[in-house]
Chains A and B, each alone.
Chain A
Amino acid sequence: MEGLSRRGLGRAALAAAITVPAAARGQTAPSGPPIRIGYSMSLSGGLAGNGRPALLAHRIWAEDINSRGGLLGRPVELVHYDDQSTGAQVPGIYTKLLDVDKVDLVISGYATAIIAPAMPVVMQRQMAFVSLFGTGVNADFKYDRYFSINPAGSQVKETFAKGFFDIAMAMDPKPRSVAILNLDSDFHQRTAESARFLAGQHKLRVVYDRAYPPSTVDFTPIIRAVQASRPDIVYVGSYPPDSAGLLRAANELRVNFQMFGGPMIGPHITAQKLQLGPILNNLVVWDVYAPEPTLQFPGMQTLLERYQPLAARENADALGHYVPPLAYAQMQVLEQAVKRVGRIDQAALAVDMHGNSFDTVIGPLRFDAQGEWVEERNLYTQYQGVQGNGIEQFRKAGTQVILYPPRYKSGELRKPYTAGL
């Protein structure tokens, strides 16, 4: 812990040393009135664990762009308020941003519960709106200036679990039965629906299909019931506190499944990676980024190198593999559209975002009519060879290999999943 933060500080100093001269010799110093980008971000409450890393990524982007001469030659300023993870605060924050602060551009905060309440305000003012980690927000609003940074795409039911089932069906012998378990929440209802649909497509027998409530404390009875139904593969949709509980229960009950995993949001958070350690071995997890050679896009490495010392100082998620890349990409989309349009014109920005593709730290992307990604990019990764609880192994390639999609594949499936035993 001690050594980590000291090294972190050293890196912060190093990063500062690199960025300062860059700013000094910067092409042209930004001038004129700042371009103000307003949004609401969850810095307290249940969503803050991901909201704060997202804000750090935004700050890094703002520093980057200001050191490169600003946006349209003007400096960029971020105006954000804490919504306390409460949707009810959000409409007030956006009306304040637009009416009182008179910001030039708006983006969204983190997650559906925060994005959706901003929509009526944003739609009334006809602002172009790039959102972060929303699922299906625009299915009801059908707003033509909404753009979503979420790799799940618009065909969630058909595509979300496709990677998981493609990997499973390629196993020898082929699995014949599946258990589906999910947290009773918006996102995981959708992911479980996709699993159910694809299980049907592959003619797999669903031997267990249940949702559990967010207040669950003990997960052993759930895992035991799953075990008793004797599935070949197990698909789980969960969030951080439950993911840890489920995996430890799996470890204690000595599970043995040909394949186990799914959108288990949990090991995405560094603290949980470290706590679970070897229990993660052979777990197949949905993810948005992994430090594999097949997934290195320009800017990604620099982003992480600048993020990690900052995070150590601000006590945020140490590795920053989950939300920060997408949050940075959110800003890059805005930046590239503004640069191409050449002025702040909401209608023109929306047209540009619909029409062109974007190069971001998480790769090239393009939006469809609903503002979702034309080509979804659900990654299915597997933790392999995790030893002990050190952090360094997770920075390296080979610890979390990519199994799907084939174009980013960096390793082979290992089976079965035995929860580290």
Chain B
Amino acid sequence: MDPNLVLLLNGIVSGLLLGGLYAAAAVGLSISFGMLDIVNIAHPAFMVLSALLVALLWSTTGLDPLLLSLLLAPVFWLLGAGLYSVYHHFFERRGDEAIQGLAFFFGVMFIIEVGLVLTLGPEQHFADAAYAATTWRLGEIDLPLRMLVPAATAMAAIGILALFLRRSFTGRAIAAVAQDREALRLLAINPTHIKRLAFGISIAFAALAGGALAVVQPMDAWSGHIFIGRVFAIVIMGGLSSLGGCVVAALAFGVVENVTATFFGPSWSPAVAFGCLLVVLAFRPQGLFGRMA
């Protein structure tokens, strides 16, 4: 095969795998920011919290990092539900969620990061999965399991979430909260309960994404920063409340980054990706896949 074609194909495939990781990171935010209108800027910090906890647990138990992150998810759900209660009590109820709410999550992010440094130290932490050193090969195309397994797990989890949102009563109530809060009240559903549940789910997804990150690369307390811009960009490009759009945007983001890195040098890949976002914001603020307002 033509070497350039091989490079291109591999760039696309590895971009899709990277996109799977981004999707895991972004889907939680798509719930909180897209559906509930809560600008949780601390979302990547929760991912890092989970990743470092996974690394810590892995070094004592030796269990699979992704399994550990699944075990952590309920704990993170509780954490998220608690955090939402605080947020609702102090901000949403008072109606000044805009600036104060943003600042609140900014502060939470800071506290998580510094707290991690104080307890676990500033060094890098890692967790090794048993399959991390294996690579599958399909002809000329490489599929490293280190990227494939987290991406596949993330996709499976997102699929289950999508089913839950579409089929179950609670799931549909969550989708409804995104559109009309008052209508829910008429159905005798407490929107606050629904939102607490949903925000818990979004933080639980941060736990899963943390497990995926821990498999892919070593992490330190500040590793979340490189994801803040990316996950918000993906959620906005995906059209906020649309899970499918979020996944497609994540995959596109990964492919654009990796193909640029392969052919034009890695120093341009973040600029290209964020340039895309600025263009989207300027010309189609409802996202590539969003409905017109």
Contacts and interface: CB of A to CB of B under 8 A. Distances in A.
Chains A and B share a contact (CB less than 8 Å): yes
Given A44-B122, A315-B121, A253 B267 contact: no
Contact of B217 (A211, A225, A244, A252): A244
B59 A1 contact: yes
Interface stretch (A57-65, A115-123, A267-275, A362-370): A267-275
A46 interface: yes
B262 A241 contact: no
B261 A225 contact: yes
A367 to B, nearest CB: 31
A302 interface: no
B82 interface: no
A44 B59 contact: no
A210 B265 contact: yes
The B interface, classified by DSSP as helix, strand, loop or mixed, is helix
Interface in A247-272: 248-249, 251-254, 269, 271-272
Interface residues of B, number: 48
Contact of A252 (B123, B135, B220): B135
B95 interface: no
Interface string B244-257: 00000000001001
A253 B226 contact: no
Interface stretch (B26-34, B139-147, B173-181, B234-242): B139-147
A245 to B, nearest CB: 6
Range class of the A interface residue count: 35 or more
A270 to B, nearest CB: 9
A216 interface: yes
A212 interface: yes
A44 B114 contact: yes
Interface string A17-51: 00000000000000000000000000011101100
Contact of A211 (B146, B263, B267): B267
B226 A217 contact: yes
B201 to A, nearest CB: 25
Among A48, A222, A241, A252, residue most surrounded by chain B Cβ atoms (within 10 Å): A252
Interface in B129-151: 132-133, 135, 142, 144, 146-147
Given A217-B21, A228-B7, 19 more contacts: A2-B60, A45-B122, A46-B220, A48-B122, A52-B121, A52-B122, A211-B267, A213-B269, A216-B266, A218-B261, A225-B262, A240-B218, A245-B217, A248-B132, A253-B142, A271-B218, A275-B126, A275-B128, A420-B133
11 contacts: A49-B122, A184-B267, A215-B270, A217-B226, A218-B17, A220-B10, A220-B14, A221-B10, A225-B7, A228-B3, A316-B121
Interface of B: 3, 6-7, 10-11, 14-15, 17-18, 21, 59-60, 114, 117, 120-126, 128, 132-133, 135, 142, 144, 146-147, 216-218, 220, 222-223, 226, 254, 257-259, 261-263, 265-267, 269-270
